[in-house]
Structure 1
Amino acid sequence: MSYIEKLLQGAEVDWKPLGEVATLEKGKQLNKSLLTESGSYPAYNGGITYSGFTDRYNYSENKTIISQGGASAGFVNFITTKFYANAHCYVVLPNISRVDNKYVYHLLKMNQENLMSKQLGAGIPALHTTNILGISIPIPCPDNPTKSLEIQRKIVEILDKFTTLEAELEAELDCRKRQYEYYRNQLLSFDMLNRGGKG
């Protein structure tokens, strides 16, 4: 029996479209002149990361965002600081009495590849709201909101640990790769010295 099955303890799971447990808002256009290198808040638009900084924000911290337009449309991110959501950025606002904020993020991140495959448009690809709001969200113990949220938070705790571990492994791999390249270059240089620098 898996850990998730133990958490559920045979409880009912109800699948709901995201649109029934969350709303989706689109960011507001920010004049490029308001983007600076030294602003207090990151501004997110249609990319994978922020497009710059600004001295204003339109959303508080701990929000799930989804890129609405461009080659990265469908990319899912979780923002832990106050930020400005620009016109090519969707912000997911869950009904926290029914679903945990981070639980929704992990489920959307799991569906990221599917969302990115739904891009439409030949010029600047875009993602329609229906593709996001139609994603099915499993709600454990739907008749017991307190227990449901408790289970969701335990699932989030597990997934957050895996996310942290993955980031640590990627950093370790990057470090080992640089170490390998350094020693490879040193060994090749040594080899060249032994041959008097002749190829």
Structure 2
Amino acid sequence: MSRIDALIAELCPEGVEFKAIGDLGELVRGNGMPKSDFVESGVGCIHYGQIYTHYGIWATETKSFVPGAKAERLAKVDPGDLVITNTSENIDDVCKAVAWIGEAQIVTGGHATVLKHDQDPKYLAYYLQTPSFFADKKKHATGTKVIDVSAKSLAKIRIPVPPLAVQQEIVKILDAFTELEAELEAELEAELEARRRQYKYYRDALLAFSDQDIRWAAMAELGEFIRGRRFTKADYVEDGVPCIHYGEIYTRYGTAADTAISHVRADMAASLRYAKPGDVVVTDVGETVEDVGKAVAWVGTEDVAIHDHCYAFRHSMNPKFVSYCMQTSSFIAEKAKYVARTKVNTLLIGGFSKIRIPVPSLEEQERIVAILDKFDALVNDISIGLPAEIAARRRQYAYYRDRLLTFKEAA
């Protein structure tokens, strides 16, 4: 920090100048370039969607390519340019930027804007991650399902523009910090993955009952499957009937849940079907075979509405025990036999309900659940264990980045 302070004291003692992004250079809006244009080799290109998922602060190589003839009509990205997204499904991703520091000219397509400028490209990309920029872009964001910040609106956002020497020193520090954070995170991710494999092995072994004389029964013998009824995300409200959407089971829920993430309109209550406390809610579609038939035990105190791509499995066992059984490798292998592999993987419930699971005493079910709950928390709970350490590293990095990129504005 002292080196940067010294540079600021020397080069801009009265504060740092803030400029509108549009005054830094030229903003060129991209157009076209669907993924169907991609080829194995050709002119390098950056698709706006890849900026959310593939690229970091900067890039020297592209993930994708387009034919030379198609590249001619696309927006050109020269070394040092910034590629900024204009649309996203959420406010966090919109205006995410990647600095192109490769050696050759590349191209980009629609939903992206190219900033051609004479600043340090990495400095600009780093600044566009800060809470200050987030607050400003939010003021210009429009839309609900798709969030948009137009190139015209982006051009109005003011950002600090210290002298190049200051920008370069900040980039040097943030690059080193980013590399260190990435190394530490990779080590933690590797450790977490090892823990997950260990947990999976232990869970599968514990629920195999290979050394015990335990009754096994088909799920159809142990309970009934009750299909949900349709609602859409357009029906969501802040406060209404608690509900579980099938898509949330893949992404938001774990082994069990006692609180619903979403709610639908109260006037729909009579037309819906519900899982009762103790039911296990099972998906009947998914992008992968593993997602189909994914389950969450509902352990809340009230009924919860379920989507028509879900079934409530109603039974008299420990619901978390059943949910854990449905995570095992052997159960997943069995359920794969009952998935119709069409455009959308669909569960054939008639066959699925024939899959056998172990039926130990309720006391034994509770004992096993207590063991697996502790292991599951260690591996997956963001508030403890390795995931918390990874989250802490990310917060630490964001804190120092934001401090380095906060300046007193010149009068």
Taking structure 2 as the reference length, the TM-score comes to 0.40
Partner of 2:48: 45
Partner of 2:128: 108
1:30–1:87: 8 Å Cα contact kept in structure 2?
A: yes
Displacement of 1:24: 1.2
2:88–2:148: 8 Å Cα contact kept in structure 1?
A: yes
Give, as a single letter, the amino acid of the residue that structure 2 aligns with 1:155. I
Structure 1: unaligned runs, 5 residues or longer: 141-147
1:20-169, aligned counterparts within 5 Å? 20-30=23-33, 33-46=36-49, 48-49=52-53, 52-56=64-68, 57=71, 58-71=76-89, 72-81=93-102, 82-94=105-117, 96=118, 99-110=119-130, 113-114=134-135, 115=137, 118-122=140-144, 124-140=146-162, 148-169=163-184
3-state DSSP of counterpart to 1:25: strand
1:11-50 Cα distance to aligned partner (Å, 9 max, x none): 2322222222232111132366532345452331355247
Displacement of 1:77: 2.2
Displacement of 1:5: 2.0
Displacement of 1:182: 1.6
Distance 1:54 1:159, change over 3 A: same
How many residues align structurally? 189
Displacement of 1:154: 0.7
Q: What is the aligned-residue RMSD (CA, Å)?
A: 3.2
> CA–CA distance in 2 between the matches of 1:106 and 1:29?
27
1:15 matched to 2:37? The reply is: no
1:60-94 Cα distance to aligned partner (Å, 9 max, x none): 33432111124243222233444321021111111
Deviates more, 1:48-57 or 1:66-75: 48-57
Partner of 1:170: 185
3-state DSSP of counterpart to 2:129: helix
1:27–1:85: 8 Å Cα contact kept in structure 2?
A: yes
Distance 1:59 1:89, change over 3 A: same
3-state DSSP of counterpart to 2:141: coil
> CA–CA distance in 2 between the matches of 1:170 and 1:123?
32
1:68–1:126: 8 Å Cα contact kept in structure 2?
A: yes
Give, as a single letter, the amino acid of the residue that structure 1 aligns with 2:129. K
Give, as a single letter, the amino acid of the residue that structure 1 aligns with 2:65. F
> CA–CA distance in 2 between the matches of 1:123 and 1:183?
40
Deviates more, 1:74-83 or 1:101-110: 74-83
Distance 1:9 1:43, change over 3 A: closer
Deviates more, 1:131-140 or 1:178-187: 131-140
Partner of 1:145: none
Which structure has the larger Rg?
2
Give, as a single letter, the amino acid of the residue that structure 1 aligns with 2:111. H
Distance 1:89 1:2, change over 3 A: same
3-state DSSP of counterpart to 1:28: coil
Distance 1:83 1:4, change over 3 A: same
2:43–2:107: 8 Å Cα contact kept in structure 1?
A: no
2:84–2:96: 8 Å Cα contact kept in structure 1?
A: yes
1:73–1:116: 8 Å Cα contact kept in structure 2?
A: no
Residue identity over aligned pairs, in percent, reads 25
Distance 1:80 1:6, change over 3 A: same
